[in-house]
Structure 1
Amino acid sequence: MIRPLLMGVVLCVVYGSSKPTEKTSRVHDDGRNHDYDHEAFLGREEARSFEQLRPEESRRRLSIIVDKMDRDGDGFVSGAELNDWIKRAQMQHVSDSVAAQWDDFDADADGRISWDEYKNVTYGSYLESPQTDGDYNYTHMMMRDERRFRVADGNGDMVANKQEFTAFLHPEEHEHMKDVVVQETIEDVDKNGDGLIDLQEYIGDMYLSEDDEDEPDWVTKERQQFAEFRDKNDDGKMDREETLDWILPPDYDHAAAEAQHLLHEADADQDGKLSKEEILDKLDVFVGSQVTDFGEALLRHDEF
């Protein structure tokens, strides 16, 4: 049984209150899936709406988006234009995410969010009536959130401005947050508590096998990836530096890689650019998945 590859999960609600911070994405998977393509191309807030549209309406709206992507108006979407569009979608998602949560946490409306404000909104019910049983260890989760908040808080006053709160919610986008992202990843994946990630833990983070199930080819490839690329010093485990290279590879451009993938999928005539028809012919790659779990923005009619 395949576990969901983490694209920002853990939407667990604390006793009807707000939610702890999301886990950061840590899998740069070459075995692409359409859900990821939809999110990267459209942005989270737009991708999900296409599943609620009739096919002809999806094509019409996608056609409008293609016209917006074609910045130079030559009738084609180049790799550079596709790359720029995906980066724009990523930045828009981060901005929308912060804006959507800001008022919930800025209780006194002073334009800043203190740790106490965040803690009280997110964990208030638990703090009033602590419970040790259940699916989640809220004490541990609160300690993790506080650690991340301290790292994001540049001046150490435990009060976050918009930039600091953005780093708190989306640490993978900020250089000074790398260490805490690595620490959280190791805590999530390291099951034996040795502070390292071995092969079994690495595979177990993305795949749970059934007794009567043959291991998929992609899992076998991941085992090879671990041995050949992840475990650089060949000690059978990933340390902090190796984990950092796994989740935030220094030379990996997410937008460029996804743009290249989409170009490869849709460029039928292999001319290095995409016509509108080529994109519309690959509607299932760019949009429209029935299992996509993101966004509702395209249900609004102001842009279409």
Structure 2
Amino acid sequence: MELKNKAYSSHKKREIVNSFDIKKSIVFNNFENRIDYVPSLINRLKCVPQVIPLEIKGKRRNRHDHLKNMIRINELIGLKFFSTINIEFFSYIKRGIEFHDIGHPPFGHAGERELNAILKRINLSFYNSSHSERILTHHITKSNNYFLNMYNTNPFKGKLFFVKKNEHENNGLITVMIDFIDDLENCFGDLCDLWNIFENIKSKQLFGAIAPNNCSIEDNIVDICIDYISNITSTTSYFDFICAIKEDQNSIHSRLKLIRKEIGDIVRDHSLLVEFDENGQDIVKGLFEKTNNLLLTMDIPKRKAIIDTVDIIASSYL
């Protein structure tokens, strides 16, 4: 089923850029501690797409739905292995899940690519995961003429296990678990979305190749993910389960990564999704130019204005 609606008209793109109010960015909220910003940053993910653009109506997830599904999958895994679970270890996974996507800019990966291209001009880079870390830990001192409130607050002091440099912690098992749940939900969620919106035959074929026999592509995504786990491993120990993921027993994780690559091919071959993606990049480019020009009129040094502009856009509602 191919949808006929176009992604954005030139007028619509200009309208989005012209109506953008930088003061609505979460970086300007006035909380005392960095952790207090997290609920707003998580709620903002309702405005960030997953694989299907928000403008396409129907049964499909946004980035906030993805996060909620991951949290629920983690909870059900905890119930499944409750008698053998380490509560502190489990809580680190929950926190990593909650934090790992808060750095996503408007238009998701399209926004990420555009902001990365912008920061490359000054030999920096922008990636969603590293920006999630920056949001939580970066600190600046108030300047005389301008500052971003969020970065002037007390940074988060705990460990961020979704950040790759922490893989040595706990033998890397916390990061392994977060990555697995992320890929698990992305894999089945994206396949279900592509089927629900476009009735894409390839997505249904991929689903059939990896899902348990008792599952339908129209079932609840969380239920499918839990059935996948039950179908592929018979272990009753939480620690053994995570070790099975790390060691990729029965290709429990690698098969998900392979399917995700094929999902990427489906998306890149779909003209409407490509058009939405390109237009999202154009809008983020327009938002940057508008906001950066405003900051430059405030006599902010050019390099700092670029960095501040990216921070403002990346934590904005659209």
Same fold per TM (> 0.5)? Answer: no
| Greater relative CO (CA pairs within 8 A, separation 6+) | 1
